[in-house]
Amino acid sequence: MPKLWNDTIEAHRLAVREAILDATWKLAAEYGVLAVTMSQIAERAGVGRATLYKYFPDVESILVANHDRHVGDHLAHLAVLRDRAPDPGRQLEAVLEGYAMICHHRGRHGTEELSALLHREEHVGAAQRQLVDLFRDVIAGAAAAGRLRADVVPAELASYCLHALAAAGELTSEEAVRRLVAVTLAGLRATA
């Protein structure tokens, strides 16, 4: 087969996969994660059940793939915010506020909570690990610049930040989100 034909097949495959992920995400938002079935997903995505099963073995694996896709998008956004900031202290502020705003706009029924529910440890995907690493590295940079407490390692502080900022999903205004970022940041700061 000529290369162009392969490219077309690959593009089609990706488009079907995206349609499946989108359909699952919308169904989960509408009916709740626990209520979504493979039949509903096939119907909403406009594919046959047999086709759906060629892509994913069960609802859980689709939710995991969807979660990884979302976190990947967030990661790219946060990396841009980080790279725009002029120094380690402002990189930290930019990443914290950026992540809090993601949590805020995602709302309470987001995908992050899902990773805690999915049973197997390996379901914490590569993108989620990269998110923790991004926070850890930005925190380590700010710590090296002498702005942060030194009694807790950056990896633990990264976990604290990611959890604390998830509270933004419950807040009703961007002003409140900025207050949450200030409080979270205060926890990281070196005490006088």
The residue ranges that bind its own copies (CB under 8 A) are 31-35, 59-60, 63, 108-110, 113-114, 116-120, 149, 151-152, 156-157, 159-160, 162-167, 169-171, 176, 179-180, 182-189, 191-192
- Pick 85 or 152: Cβ nearer its own copies: 152
Least separation in angstroms between residue 80's CB and its own copies is 25
State the helix-helix crossing angle for 38-45 and 59-84, rounded to 10 degrees.
Answer: 60
- Pick 14 or 35: Cβ nearer its own copies: 35
- Residues 6+ away with beta carbon under 8 Å from 146: 190
Query: Which 3 state secondary structure label does DSSP give 172?
Result: coil
Least separation in angstroms between residue 14's CB and its own copies is 26
- Pick 7 or 58: Cβ nearer its own copies: 58
Least separation in angstroms between residue 100's CB and its own copies is 11
Least separation in angstroms between residue 51's CB and its own copies is 22
- Pick 13 or 109: Cβ nearer its own copies: 109
- Pick 35 or 145: Cβ nearer its own copies: 35
Let me know: does 75 contact 112? Beta carbons within 8 Å.
no
Least separation in angstroms between residue 168's CB and its own copies is 9
Question: SS3 for 69-122, per residue?
Answer: HHHHHHHHHHHHHHHHCCCHHHHHHHHHHHHHHHHHHHCCCCCHHHHHHCCCHH
Give the burial string for 73-100 (b: 16+ CB within 10 Å, else e): ebbeebeebbeeeeebbebbbbbbbbbb
- Please count the other Cβ atoms lying within 10 Å of the Cβ belonging to residue 124: 17
